[in-house]
Structure 1
Amino acid sequence: MYLSGLLLLFLLPDWTESAGVETVDITTLARIIDFFEQNYKRVDGDQHPRQYATAINVPKHQCQQNFIPSQNNFLTQEDAVNVRNALNDETKALYQGAELIAAGTKKVVIKKKNYNIHSESLLLNPADNSAMIKLLNKRKDGCSVFYTFESPCVDSCLNASRDHNILKGLENWKKHRGIKAFVFKNIWKRDLEKNLSTIFKQIVAHVPLYRCVSENQCFSCKGEGNTPIDAHCLPPKKIRDEL
């Protein structure tokens, strides 16, 4: 009995580590998001940034410590010019490549009214046959990173009652076996006064949420279970205090 107890004591650390869920290396994640911004960023004629989203499914080691993405070793099958052209074509606004998908915003007319379908929705819908599902099926255990320049909007993307919401798409993504990361850079300006500390938990319920603000700084938004969403992923405290 004593020997069995010692054996369990020595084996327990390894068992606990293997039972944990693998997550992206946050320094590498910052480099990946910077790669997106350097190569695929959507801008208007005056060079002002515009909303876009991208997602990748790459070998696991490309999301782990010490990987430095470059033109020579990362997303080498994707042509950046083709990606940007697709993002700026508002009649389709969708690019589907070998390891990367990307979307701008798509203009549609419904009952004589003009609408924009948001980039997150273009990638994650229809939920059971989306560009994201097709990408994930190409590498069952790869590292998948979804990046949106502006955080998903509360009124449409994160609203379960709206036709173009992304919640079912996130639920399907959760089933993917590999490393997962949902990332945003800016908080959508119309959501600055909304209760994002609660609403963002709808994302965290399915996939880990991060905010990347520069080429060398990302934050884990946390928020699992009763854990609060990290302050770095919320509007500035001054705005929250005024609510």
Structure 2
Amino acid sequence: MVQVVLGPAILIVLCCCILTVTPFTEEQLLRATNFIRQEKTGGLNNQYAYVALFTVAQCRQLADADLRDALRQEDAANLVMTVADQQIYRGTKMVAASYLQIDNQHAVHAEARLLNGEGNAPSPVQDLINRNEDRGCVLFYTLNSPCTGLCVRIGGQYNILNKLNVFDNINNRALVYNDVYFADLTRKEDIVWAAWAAVNARIGFYRCFNNRCVRCFKNGTQNSNCYYT
């Protein structure tokens, strides 16, 4: 009989494998977005976005109990009041923002506010990540899809595409939206899909609406449910 002895290095590898987090399922994303809307952001009706971080253990199931445990320190009333006042909410496991109206014609979009810092300061998302060492998965939610005219305009000066690299060290990550941004419904559809594909190349891109979630790209194929109701 041959006796196999596992050295310390091999044992470390095996332990790491046990902690591996599987990608989000549509069921998990639906459960998470529904829970956060019902328990934390239900008072917000206009465009807003948030990022929520969960631990490796919580991400294994992301059941209601995991969500409740992860977000127990987030004060819903404070979150809603802060975001409705066009300020940035900075919680223990969540950051959130609305758009910021500059004048009658210009606004800084919610996604950009979360992904950009002021001066040399880290962005609200980077700060959240820095404050949480146990990062099993991350949910980036925006009520309306990132606009192709500004936020995800390929080559555009103000696009957020490169800012999404803040999530690169978190393998299990998803960007979820509910409604298609109204202006993109009148753009050429291929332009919208090209912009969304650029997002999906950096973070899994999903739509959660009508009590279901769908992945917008699978094996290179577009899911028409992400554009049409």
**TM-score tier (shorter):** 0.7 to 0.9
Residue 172 of structure 1: how far off its partner (Å): 3.0
Residue 108 of structure 1: how far off its partner (Å): 2.4
Given the two structures, how large is their TM-score scaled by the length of structure 2? 0.79
State the percentage of identical aligned residues.
26
**Which of 64, 67, 87 is the equivalent residue of 2:83?**
87
In the TM superposition, what are the counterparts of 1:149-164 in structure 2 within 5 Å? 149-164=143-158
Matched, 1:56 2:52: yes
| Cross-structure match for 1:205 | 201
Contact between 1:60 and 1:142, CA under 8 Å: does it hold in 2? yes
Task: Please give the alpha-carbon distance, in whole angstroms, between the structure 1 residues aligned to 2:23 and 2:64.
Answer: 17
| Counterpart residue type for residue 216 of structure 2 | C
| Cross-structure match for 1:122 | 113
| Cross-structure match for 1:144 | 138
Residue 136 of structure 1: how far off its partner (Å): 2.0
| Cross-structure match for 2:41 | 40
| Counterpart residue type for residue 78 of structure 2 | N
Unpaired runs of 5+ in structure 1? 1-16, 44-48, 237-243
Alpha-carbon distance change, 21 to 117 in structure 1, aligned in 2, over 3 angstroms: same
| Cross-structure match for 2:63 | 67
Residue 234 of structure 1: how far off its partner (Å): 1.6
| Cross-structure match for 1:230 | 223
Contact between 1:35 and 1:69, CA under 8 Å: does it hold in 2? no
Contact between 2:179 and 2:209, CA under 8 Å: does it hold in 1? yes
**Which of 162, 165, 169 is the equivalent residue of 1:176?**
169
In the TM superposition, what are the counterparts of 1:216-227 in structure 2 within 5 Å? 217-222=212-217, 227=220
Report how many aligned residue pairs link the two structures: 206
Contact between 1:221 and 1:233, CA under 8 Å: does it hold in 2? yes
C-alpha distance after superposition, 1:99-151 (max 9, x if no partner): 00000111225xxx652111001011149821111222223532100000000
| Cross-structure match for 1:29 | 29
Given the two structures, how large is their TM-score scaled by the length of structure 1? 0.75
Cα RMSD for the two superposed structures: 2.7
| Cross-structure match for 1:186 | 179
